[in-house]
Amino acid sequence: MAQSFLSVVWDIDPVFFSIGSFEIRYYGVMWALAILIGAKFFDNFCKREGLPQRVSESVFVYGTLATILGARLGHCLFYDPMEYLPQPLTIITGFRDGGMASHGAACGLLIGLWLFSRKNKLPYVWSLDRIMIPVGIGGAIVRLGNLFNSEIFGRATDLSWGFEFVRSHKWVAEYAPSAVHPTQIYEALCYLVTFLILCWLYYKKDMGRRRPGVIFGVGLIGVFFTRFFIEFIKTEQEAFEVGWVLDMGQWLSIPFVILGIWMIWYGFSRPAVEQKTVKLSEVKNIPPTKKQKK
């Protein structure tokens, strides 16, 4: 294994604060922050496009529940089915023990947004494009939560920015004293770049209205293409992945990348909408606000 002469000794307590036996961890705080930022962005989208407040409130409920449930189920079914399937109740009762999967969160969010779109009579692609923007920054924040947990890091490296995760049993048992790639930071930075690109497409290029589907497609590729390639330098999350050509995270990322390519094609295969004065609330099938009814 590589030995690093310069490295970062990461010895951060993952507990943000505690009261007796009750603990609040940085990881949970990061998830909450990602959800709140997502809600704030959607509120901005609705105000910007002339939609009533109830639409923003509705997506918070549907999006939050679907994302959390999907992330939990994704971990239990994709990464540890033998542990949870014989005792399915532990999927809920063991929630505080950890275990959330980004691919499961993505699947849950897709279902939640479909239900949200039906309830509010909005085009599904409208919801997908807008939610992808906060997903970019939210993904970066959650990866920082993994960093605080000293988990999901990479293989040994002699690069000067390698980390020594001294609180990780896996690092101590398999890598110490070598530093390893801080893949949580790599992913967070790539997701941040994706987020900035998506903001540029929405706010500067008006792609959400002009070419529905493009923002969603670009976001999927930015997030899951990043995940696919960084997995090559990550340690295996589960023992069953040892020896695989591609690990579970890579196999699960491939369908999302393909979907992203298709969505970009879908967006550019249709004529661009050029009427910049038309608000989304005036489009057919979207219910008018009370002020418009009067």
More confident residue, 7 or 262: 262
CB 153 within 8 A of CB 179: no
| pLDDT score, position 132 | 95
Q: Look over the chain and give the mean of its residue pLDDT values, rounded to a whole number.
A: 85
| pLDDT score, position 91 | 64
Question: What average pLDDT does range 110-118 have in this prediction?
Answer: 91
Q: Which DSSP string do the residues of the chain spell out, in sequence order?
A: ----SS-EEE---SEEEEETTEEEEHHHHHHHHHHHHHHHHHHHHHHHTT--HHHHHHHHHHHHHHHHHHHHHHIIIII-HHHHTTSTTHHHHTGGG----HHHHHHHHHHHHHHHHHHHT--HHHHHHHHHHHHHHHHHHHHHHHHHTT-S-B-B--STT-EEETT-HHHHHHTTTS-B--HHHHHHHHHHHHHHHHHIIIIIS-HHHHSTTHHHHHHHHHHHHHHHHHGGGBPPSSGGGTT-SS-HHHHHHHHHHHHHHHHHHHHHSSPPP--TT--GGGSTTSPPPHHHH-
| pLDDT score, position 99 | 67
Q: Which DSSP string do the residues of 6-73 spell out, in sequence order?
A: S-EEE---SEEEEETTEEEEHHHHHHHHHHHHHHHHHHHHHHHTT--HHHHHHHHHHHHHHHHHHHHH
| pLDDT score, position 1 | 43
Amino acid at 142: V
Cα dist from 234 to 149, 181, 242, whole Å: 16, 8, 12
Question: What average pLDDT does range 258-279 have in this prediction?
Answer: 83
- Is residue 278 over pLDDT 60? no
| pLDDT score, position 98 | 59
- Is residue 283 over pLDDT 60? no
Question: What average pLDDT does range 278-293 have in this prediction?
Answer: 48
* % of the chain surpassing 90 pLDDT: 54
* Nearest Cα residue to 187 out of 236, 156, 150, 223: 223
Question: What average pLDDT does range 250-274 have in this prediction?
Answer: 92
Q: Is the peptide bond before 287 cis (omega within 30 degrees of 0)?
A: no
- Which of 42-46, 215-219, 222-226, 285-289 is the least confident region? 285-289
Question: What average pLDDT does range 4-17 have in this prediction?
Answer: 83
Prediction pTM value: 0.83
CB 155 within 8 A of CB 51: no
| pLDDT score, position 96 | 59
Question: What average pLDDT does range 48-52 have in this prediction?
Answer: 90
Amino acid at 134: P
Across-strand partners of 8?
Answer: 163
Question: What average pLDDT does range 118-134 have in this prediction?
Answer: 93
Q: What is the pLDDT of residues 59-110, one digit of tens each?
A: 888 888 888 887 877 767 766 776 766 776 666 656 555 567 777 788 888 9
| pLDDT score, position 70 | 79
Q: What is the pLDDT of residues 141-184, one digit of tens each?
A: 999 999 999 999 999 999 989 999 999 999 999 999 999 999 99
Q: What is the CA radius of gyration of the chain?
A: 21
CB 241 within 8 A of CB 172: no
- Is residue 290 over pLDDT 90? no
More confident residue, 161 or 277: 161
| pLDDT score, position 155 | 94
| pLDDT score, position 292 | 46
| pLDDT score, position 105 | 82
Which of 28-42, 81-95, 188-202 has the largest mean confidence? Answer: 188-202
Question: What average pLDDT does range 129-145 have in this prediction?
Answer: 94
| pLDDT score, position 235 | 86
